[in-house]
């Protein structure tokens, strides 16, 4: 059965990714407390006046799907993690770059507030 909540999503994630997934969720919730959390396209999504961020837990990594405003503002910082236009890959063998993730979310929240606030 497909997960219906982010709690269910994390519980159903590969065992190796569950701790990182829970940590990422907490980071996003702290950086964007006003954001609505739900599942979209089968993965956790956070929205506030538009899209803020998506993420997915995989066997060997956490994928973070970054919106244009934060991608542009953090282009240099995200480059080592980039695997596609909007995709960042954080290997589970390394700690999550918590400061980077917090900055990405904060930038996108501010951009969304400015555009639609």
117 pLDDT above the threshold of 70:
no
CATH code, residues 6-112: 3.90.1150.200
Q: Quick check: helix, strand or coil at residue 108?
A: helix
pLDDT at 116: 84
Candidates 12, 13, 46, 41; CA nearest to 27 is: 46
Pairing of strands 61-66, 87-91: antiparallel
Q: Quick check: helix, strand or coil at residue 58?
A: coil
The mean pLDDT value of the chain amounts to 96
Please write the tens of the pLDDT for every residue from 67-110: 999 999 999 999 999 999 999 999 999 999 999 999 999 999 99
Candidates 44, 51, 63; CA nearest to 105 is: 51
């Amino acid at each position: 059965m497909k997960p219906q909540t982010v709690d269910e999503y994390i519980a159903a994630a590969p065992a190796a990714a569950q701790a990182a997934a829970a940590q990422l969720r907490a980071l996003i919730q702290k950086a964007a407390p006003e954001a609505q959390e739900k599942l979209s396209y089968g993965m956790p999504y956070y929205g506030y006046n538009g899209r803020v961020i998506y993420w997915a837990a995989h066997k060997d990594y956490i994928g973070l799907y970054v919106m244009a405003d934060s991608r542009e503002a953090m282009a240099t910082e995200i480059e080592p993690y980039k695997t596609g236009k909007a995709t960042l890959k954080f290997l589970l063998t390394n700690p999550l770059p918590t400061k980077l993730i917090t900055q990405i979310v904060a930038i996108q929240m501010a951009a969304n507030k400015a555009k639609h606030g």
